Amino acid sequence: MSLLADAPLPPRNEKAAAIGVMLTATLFIATSLLLAKMVGSGWGAVTPDQKLHPLQVTAGRFLFGFIGIASFVAWRRPSFTRPALGLHLLRSLLGMSGVGLMFTAALLIPLAETTAISFLNPIFAMMLAVVILGERVGLLRWSCAALAFAGALLLVLRGGFEPRPEALVALAAAALLGGEVIALKFLSGREAVPQILLLNNGIALLVMMSLASLVWIWPSPQQWLALAGVGLAMISAQALFTRAIRMTDASFIAPFSYATLIVSSGLDWLVFGSWPSLRSWLGVAIIVTAGVLLSWREAVREKRARQAGAV
Cα-flanking dihedrals φ and ψ of residue 163, to 5°? -65, 145
pLDDT tops 60 at residue 84:
yes
CA 292 to chain centre: 17
116 vs 30: CA distance, rounded Å: 12
Sign of CA dihedral 279, 29, 181, 176: positive
pLDDT tens for each residue of 278-295:
989 999 999 989 888 877
- Residue 1 domain-assigned? no
Q: Give Cα 282 to chain centroid, integer Å.
A: 22
Cβ(226)–Cβ(39) under 8 Å?
Answer: yes
Residue 6 lies in a domain: no
How many domains in the chain? 1
240 in a domain, yes or no?
yes
Assess if residue 3 is contained within a domain. no
Residues making up the chain, counted from first to last: 311
Q: What is the pTM of this model?
A: 0.86
Q: Residue 268: how many CA atoms within 13 Å on its side-chain side?
A: 25
Residue 74 lies in a domain: yes
Tell whether the torsion through CA atoms of 234, 238, 244 and 245 is positive or negative. Answer: positive
| pLDDT at residue 158 in the model | 80
Rounded to whole angstroms, the Cα distance separating 219 from 225 reads: 9
pLDDT of residue 19: 86
Quickly count: other Cβ atoms within 10 Å of residue 170's Cβ. Answer: 27
Instruction: Please check the confidence at residue 2 and state whether its pLDDT lies above 50.
Output: no
In sequence order, which residues have a C-beta less than 8 Å from that of residue 19 and are 6 or more positions away? 244, 253, 256
Model confidence at 308: pLDDT above 70: no
- Where in the sequence is the domain holding 125, given as residue range(s)? 11-310
